[in-house]
Amino acid sequence: MTIESIPRTIWWNEGKVYLIDQTRLPLQGDVLVCSTHEGVLLAIRSLAVRGAPALGVAAALALALWSEKEGAEIGSVDEYLARMAEVAAEITAARPTAVNLSWGAERILATAREAARADGGLATEGLRAAVLEESLGMLDEDEERNRSLGAHGAGLLAEKSRVLTHCNAGSLATAYYGTALGVIFSAHEQSKIAHVWVDETRPVNQGGRLTAWELRMAGVPFALIADSMAASIMRNGWVDAVIVGADRIAVNGDTANKIGTYGLAVLAKAHDVPFYVVAPSSTVDFSLPSGEGIVIEERDPRELEGFTVSGTFESGSPEASKAFDMLTSEGAYEVPLAKGHAMTIDRKGGAYAFDAWFRMTPPNINTFNPAFDVTPAELITAIITEKGIVRPDPDYKTALADALGA
């Protein structure tokens, strides 16, 4: 069992984008095939592809798909660039917190604009070739960055480290290899990891579903815990480092990451445990002075009110195919349960696949479901990037710019 057992997250083949549907992991290993940019957009909105660096690559590949399909129909360079900018804005708006989405889209826009300048603005063919080459290059580039930040981070860990991680900042959150888990994989290869505590990460359970899946595939020893257990585990002295990813880092070092990260940073400080943020340089937003300006995505209350189980009907069973026929004709239907509870079944993706959502709470209650929080820079021991390690500094912006060569 090694990291190589983990399949790639997203790839391009013969004019289509393929991605692992992360909403259906770990029970189902479905691959979504997107032949239009709208397909990738849907995948981003539904969390089929998620995690900041993976979102950056998905944005780039969505634009490449647009360029190869709709863009190929446009003769005028000006019109191609104007329409691409509209599509890029649509992609960027799909999820507001992770900066990588706009970073990926803007990089492809810049590539197209640059190709237009070089081409003298005469033909869109040259632009399309440049866009495709740039977006495909970002897949390998992301993996290289992650392997490099993994090596930097592993150097910070002592022998027999017991680390705690939150959410999924693994291979699935990137094109390949992962950021926080990249450090853990790299340290594991050096036999430095004694144990990983995996926060389940309510309400979407990226830890329990995705991080646990990756660590098991890679043969890294771990135990899953409920988020509320981190405090007592730290108090018991069982954690040597907390290692998390990031969705956006402001230039003063404030860092947005999955909801619950800030609480872990406070706990780490209280128990004198180093708290490391691991992210590629593309996650640093040099336009943002502090974490106060970070827009926090609020998600569907149903994530809090119930839980979803993904499944596939047994294709040979008449009862199952009767149920599936109902789904095909109705799309989704609600099964009334006693005492106002409910179960909704939705057809999902390919043949016989479904999602069943079960209500756990009373109906018609108020909820608040922010998907991210911001950890202030002073609680972060170091930010680990592919270019090196940045430690708190009175002039954090210059320290980040120097380290990243920005």
Gap between the Cα atoms of 175 and 20, Å rounded: 11
Task: Kindly state the smallest distance separating residue 14's Cβ from ligand MRU, in Å.
Answer: 28
Q: Binding to ligand MRU (CB under 6 A): which residues in 362-381?
A: 371
Gap between the Cα atoms of 71 and 219, Å rounded: 44
Task: Kindly state the smallest distance separating residue 186's Cβ from ligand MRU, in Å.
Answer: 14
Q: Report CA Rg, the chain.
A: 22
User: Where in 160-302 does DSSP place strands (E)?
Assistant: 161-165, 193-199, 222-225, 241-244, 248-250, 255-258, 275-278, 284-285
Gap between the Cα atoms of 6 and 347, Å rounded: 27
Q: What is the pattern of x (binds ligand MRU, CB under 6 A) and - over residues 122-161?
A: ----------------------------------------
Between CA 86 and CA 88, with CA 87 as vertex, the angle to 5 degrees is 90
Of the residues 173, 218, 239, 284, which one makes contact with ligand MRU according to CB under 6 A: 173
**CB crowding 104-119: b at 16 or more within 10 Å, else e:** bbbbbbebbbebbeee
Q: What are phi and psi of 376, to 5 degrees?
A: -65, 145
Binding status of residue 209 toward ligand MRU by CB under 6 A: no
CA-based nearest residue to 349, from 9, 20, 64, 6: 20
Binding status of residue 96 toward ligand MRU by CB under 6 A: no
Of the residues 39, 51, 71, 150, which one makes contact with ligand MRU according to CB under 6 A: 51
Binding status of residue 53 toward ligand MRU by CB under 6 A: yes
Binding status of residue 169 toward ligand MRU by CB under 6 A: yes
Task: Kindly state the smallest distance separating residue 396's Cβ from ligand MRU, in Å.
Answer: 20
User: Which one-letter DSSP state was computed for residue 25?
Assistant: T
Binding status of residue 203 toward ligand MRU by CB under 6 A: no
Binding status of residue 230 toward ligand MRU by CB under 6 A: no
- The residue of the chain with the least Cβ separation from ligand MRU equals 245
How many chain residues bind ligand MRU (CB under 6 A)?
Answer: 17
Stretch binding ligand MRU (CB under 6 A), from 117-125, 152-160, 243-251, 396-404: 243-251
Residue 98 or 273: the one with the smaller Cβ distance to ligand MRU is 98
- Active-site residue identified among 247, 254, 285, 373: 247
Binding status of residue 61 toward ligand MRU by CB under 6 A: no
DSSP assignment of 75-130: --HHHHHHHHHHHHHHHHTT-SS-THHHHHHHHHHHHHHHHHHHHTT--SHHHHHH
Catalytic status, residue 247: yes
Binding status of residue 50 toward ligand MRU by CB under 6 A: yes
Q: Which residues pair with 392 in a beta bridge?
A: none
Gap between the Cα atoms of 13 and 167, Å rounded: 29
- Please list the active-site residues: 247
Residues that bind ligand MRU (CB under 6 A): 50-53, 98, 167, 169, 173-174, 179, 206, 245-247, 257-258, 371
